[in-house]
């Protein structure tokens, strides 16, 4: 009983800390979108006989991960999502901020004893993506370990959910809508 109470208290404190960070996430999301929109396209070389076509941007590059995360939340019908700032994500998941080019995330209280976690990261390179994927895999393992003895639904969900990697993009979707979120993420970063 003490273990359940201590885990519940820890989760409540984590949710409160993340909720407190969510206020700044909207402000920082606006700043990140402005920065994304202000970047100049990469220059390409052309020859005399051919004209260079601009490289197609992925949906995530064109609008930014916060916009993709917002769209995924809306499409999945998650109504109680609380935004999590990129700084909070680095702290909660033990990520090195130097390895993160962009991040967006949400927690939602609907579900079992553990909140849903919808986290999207664009790493600066493939090594960064591998480090982020490992941190996310560790998080799923932690949830499974904690839930195994008292929350069979969360335990089962943690066993089902996998970390999704597409190039330098990494996603963690601990959610009942895992399949739909995975599909939306892969479509958004292609």
Three-class SS of the chain: CHHHHHHHHHHHHHHHHHHHHHHHHHHHHHHHHHHHHHCCCCCCCCCCCCCCCCCCCCHHHHHCHHHHHHHHHHHHCCCCEEEECHHHHHHHHCCCHHHEEEEEEEEECCCCCCCEEEEEEEECCHHHHHHHHHHHHHHHHHHHHHHCCCCHHHHHHHHHCCCEEECCEEEEEECCCHHHHHHHHHHHHC
Residues in the chain: 190
Percent of the chain scoring above 90 in pLDDT:
55
Per-residue pLDDT reduced to its tens digit, 141-157: 999 999 999 899 999 99
| pLDDT tens per residue across span 109-131 | 876 688 999 999 999 999 999 99
Tokens of 104: 């967006």
Residue 7 dihedral angles phi and psi, to the nearest 5°: -65, -40
Q: In whole angstroms, how far apart are CA 11 and each of 6, 18, 81, 124, 131?
A: 9, 10, 16, 30, 24
Sign of the alpha-carbon torsion through 6, 11, 14, 20:
negative
Question: Could you read off the pLDDT of 55-105 as tens digits, one per residue?
Answer: 444 555 556 999 999 999 999 999 999 998 878 888 889 999 999 999 999
What is the pLDDT, as a whole number, of residue 8? 61
């Amino acid at each position: 009983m003490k273990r359940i109470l201590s885990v519940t208290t820890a989760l409540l404190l984590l949710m409160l800390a993340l909720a407190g960070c969510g206020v700044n996430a909207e402000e920082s999301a606006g700043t990140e979108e402005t920065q994304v929109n202000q970047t100049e396209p990469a220059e390409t070389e052309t020859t005399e006989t051919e004209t260079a076509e601009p490289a197609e941007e992925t949906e995530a590059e064109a609008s930014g991960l916060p916009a993709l995360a917002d769209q995924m939340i809306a499409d999945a019908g998650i109504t109680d999502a609380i935004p999590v700032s990129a700084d909070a994500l680095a702290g909660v998941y033990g990520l090195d901020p130097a390895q993160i080019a962009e991040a967006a995330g949400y927690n939602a209280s609907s579900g079992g004893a553990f909140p849903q976690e919808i986290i999207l990261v664009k790493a600066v390179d493939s090594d960064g993506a591998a480090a982020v994927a490992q941190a996310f895999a560790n998080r799923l393992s932690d949830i499974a370990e904690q839930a195994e003895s008292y929350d069979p639904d969360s335990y089962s969900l943690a066993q089902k959910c996998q970390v999704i990697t597409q190039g330098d993009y990494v996603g963690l979707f601990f959610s009942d809508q895992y399949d739909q979120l995975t599909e939306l993420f892969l479509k958004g970063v292609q």
